[in-house]
Amino acid sequence: GAGVSQSPSNKVTEKGKDVELRCDPISGHTALYWYRQSLGQGLEFLIYFQGNSAPDKSGLPSDRFSAERTGGSVSTLTIQRTQQEDSAVYLCASSLRDNSYNEQFFGPGTRLTVL
């Protein structure tokens, strides 16, 4: 079946503009994660959606970052007033259940470049 998809694959924007990144998880997966990965660096946790529970937003680096997940499926990560340090690959992952016992399936990522 289809894996996790993300759009756009690449996004170039000017400093100060807002951007929206989209994640389509695998159908039926109740858990969804957003990560940020700077060049050559590790996976920086941003936000975690777990079924119908309130999301864990503890990784969001500033109030310019927000995310929502509509209908328990598609998720959108929004970055307002982008800064050059926001440039990175943004990865989304989903898993079957929300008890963390299951494999996370990653999307291909969105490469964000802020000029």
Please tell me the distance from the alpha carbon of residue 25 to that of residue 23, in angstroms, as a whole number: 6
Q: How many helices (H) and strands (E) does the chain have?
A: 0, 10
Q: Is the Cβ–Cβ distance between 110 and 10 less than 8 Å? A: yes
Asked whether position 25 contacts another protein by CB under 8 A, the answer is no
Q: What token pair was written down for 41?
A: 């660096």
**30 is a site residue for another protein (CB under 8 A):** no
Q: Based on the shown chain and the rule CB under 8 A, indicate whether residue 43 belongs to the binding site for another protein.
A: yes
How many chain residues touch another protein (CB under 8 A)? Answer: 21
Decide if residue 72 touches another protein (CB under 8 A): no
User: Which segment (12-20, 44-52, 66-74, 79-87) binds another protein by CB under 8 A?
Assistant: 44-52
Q: Are 48 and 32 in contact (CB under 8 A)?
A: yes
| Dihedral angle, C-alpha 50, 51, 53, 55, nearest 10 ° | 40
From the list 10-18, 20-28, 40-48, 67-75, the region that binds another protein by CB under 8 A is 40-48
Amino acid at 84: Q
Q: According to CB under 8 A, which one of 36, 60, 107, 112 is a site residue for another protein? A: 107
Where do contacts with another protein occur on this chain (CB under 8 A)?
33, 35, 41-43, 45, 48, 50, 56, 58, 91, 98-101, 103-104, 106-109
